[in-house]
Amino acid sequence: MAENKLGNQRCTNLVISIEGDSGARFLNQMDVRMLVTENGADPLLGSRLSDVALNDLEHRVRRNKLIRKCQVYRDLKGNVVVEVEQERPLARWINTSENGEMRNSSGYYISDEGVFFPLSDSYSARTLLVSGSFFNDPEKLKTTKGASLMELLRFLNADPFWKAQVAQLDADKDGEIHMMTVLGDQRIEFGSAENYESKFDKLKMFYNKILSQDWSRYKKISIKFQNQIVCE
């Protein structure tokens, strides 16, 4: 009986909830409304709730690559409720030349799950910049090397010191990593992403002992080999 009563109700309102990450707003409520209603072609308001195909509405919203999850349901007040979760940017890939110069403004974000998704016209997330041919193929992030690299990116995003210090990470086709720093403007030859925590421990110890008085003393630091630091 309650189901029949609900089905005979008309849609009185479209309620939209957007869950973001760290204040990121790639989409606003109007953007989501346009997705749900197909740019106003299917306004929903006034429609019988029994005629509203919830699965179809979810599919419309999920077609947008900025959205990770979407759930649509109706409530007892006659509302159609749309709950959206945005993708969470872990890094932003930029298109660079071999000498590191940015070629153009194109690029994409990489989520914390290794999903590539497009840039937003309305919001630019402040996140780690990554470059290099390893990121040209999303499938590479599913390999063993790719999984290690994703762990490294998550570490950089979670550690306050390294998040502030590492400005850009470059990974070549073999997964060999170079990093550019903020303080000292150094190029770090990191090697593979394996054993990344011990490499960062070694680098931080070097910072504390050698570079604490003069961050610009060296421009290139290699920590790719175990128990060895090479500086230029």
Residue 1 has pLDDT above 50, yes or no: no
Examine the fold and report which residue of 65, 86, 107 is the final residue of a domain before the chain moves on: 86
Q: Are residues 145 and 78 both part of a single domain?
A: no
- The residue among 144 and 104 whose pLDDT is bigger is 144
Q: How far apart are CA 78 and CA 62, in angstroms?
A: 23
Contacts of 212 (CB under 8 A, 6+ apart): none
In degrees and rounded to multiples of 5, residue 214 shows phi and psi of -150, 95
Q: Are residues 123 and 194 both part of a single domain?
A: yes
Contact between residue 184 and residue 190 where contact means Cβ atoms under 8 Å apart: no
Q: State the CATH number of the domain containing residue 103.
A: 3.40.50.11690
Q: Are residues 82 and 96 both part of a single domain?
A: no
Neighbours of 30 (CB within 10 A): 9
Q: How many domains does the chain have?
A: 2
Q: Are residues 113 and 183 both part of a single domain?
A: yes
Residue 158's pLDDT is: 96
Examine the fold and report which residue of 57, 86, 115 is the final residue of a domain before the chain moves on: 86
Residue 9's pLDDT is: 87
Residue 8's pLDDT is: 77
Contact between residue 221 and residue 189 where contact means Cβ atoms under 8 Å apart: yes
Q: Are residues 158 and 81 both part of a single domain?
A: no
Q: Are residues 71 and 101 both part of a single domain?
A: no
Q: Are residues 106 and 190 both part of a single domain?
A: yes
Question: What is the pTM assigned to this prediction?
Answer: 0.83
Q: How far apart are CA 40 and CA 38, in angstroms?
A: 5
For the stretch 19-64, pLDDT in tens is: 865 566 888 899 999 999 998 888 889 888 889 999 999 999 999 9
pLDDT band at residue 215 using 50, 70 and 90 as cut-offs: low
pLDDT band at residue 209 using 50, 70 and 90 as cut-offs: confident
Q: Are residues 66 and 145 both part of a single domain?
A: no
Residue 98's pLDDT is: 59
Q: Are residues 71 and 122 both part of a single domain?
A: no
For the stretch 60-102, pLDDT in tens is: 999 999 999 999 999 989 999 999 999 999 999 998 655 555 5
Q: Locate 78 and state its tokens.
A: 């006659």
Contact between residue 81 and residue 73 where contact means Cβ atoms under 8 Å apart: yes
Q: Are residues 117 and 206 both part of a single domain?
A: yes
Residues 163-187, mean pLDDT to the nearest whole number = 93
Q: Are residues 118 and 63 both part of a single domain?
A: no
Q: Looking at residue 11, what DSSP letter applies?
A: P
Burial 51-86 (b: 16+ CB within 10 A, else e): ebeeeebbebbeebebbbebebebeeeebbbbbbeb
Q: How far apart are CA 216 and CA 22, in angstroms?
A: 32
Q: State the CATH number of the domain containing residue 21.
A: 3.10.20.310
Examine the fold and report which residue of 61, 86, 111 is the final residue of a domain before the chain moves on: 86
For the stretch 105-162, pLDDT in tens is: 578 999 999 999 999 888 888 899 999 999 998 899 999 999 999 999 999 999 999 9
> Which domain does 30 fall in, by range?
2-86
Q: Are residues 46 and 113 both part of a single domain?
A: no
